[in-house]
Homo-oligomer: A and B are copies of this chain.
Amino acid sequence: MLHFSASLTRLLGELKKLPGVGEKTALRLAFHLLKSPANVHALAESLVEVGSRVRFCSTCFGITEADPCHICTGDRDSALLCVVEEPQDMLAIERSHSFKGRYHVLHGALSPLSGITPGQLNIRELMERLEQGGCSEVILATNFTVEGEATALYLARLIKPLGIRITRLAHGIPLGSDLEYVDLATVQRAMEGRSEV
């Protein structure tokens, strides 16, 4: 590629750093961009804009352009705090319109194998928020992976002494799914958590 254009080779290198983008995809994206100079310009501009404007909220560590973010300053129920791993998890919950409290983004989950310890997550900041009082329930919405479950367990032990109610999202059959294709463990959890009609 070097023979064709040094700047194109550099762009390919940058594109390959993106998740799920390999040699072939990078080439496809680059050639697509080459065909539409207006898009190249717009993409570059919006990258610069995001790079300079978007930051993390100093209270909840979610994504925002104004600090503190509109959720931390907005008219939300401050007695409810939802703890998530990543900003995109916060987005997923916001999209569901099922939660009217505030958030706290850990920016990761405990993972001793990858060397992620409590000190690298925003756990100290979470405890400081909780110790200020005013919060009656913490929803631990970390992922349902080994790391997410471990993080939830760790946080639950840490928060318990504060006398705050600690909850976790319900397990069960996803909406619209065929029972025969749902995995064993999920069916077991759904059976345990069955409710009166």
Interface residues of A (CB under 8 A from B): 1, 3-8, 10-11, 13-15, 17-20, 25, 27-34, 36-37, 39-51, 53-54, 62-65, 69-70, 86-88, 91, 94
Chain B residues, Cβ within 8 Å of A87: 31, 34
| 4 tightest A-B CB contacts, nearest first | A44-B47, A40-B51, A7-B49, A11-B46
By the criterion CB–CB under 8 Å, are B86 and A7 in contact?
no
Give Cα A79 to B36, complex, Å: 33
Return the chain B residue nearest A107 by Cβ: B35
Number of copies: 2
Give Cα A64 to B1, complex, Å: 10
In-complex Cβ contact of A17 among B27, B39, B62, B88 (8 A): B39
Give Cα A93 to B99, complex, Å: 56
By the criterion CB–CB under 8 Å, are B48 and A44 in contact?
yes
Chain B residues, Cβ within 8 Å of A19: 28-29, 32
In-complex Cβ contact of A11 among B17, B18, B47, B65 (8 A): B47
Return the chain B residue nearest A17 by Cβ: B39
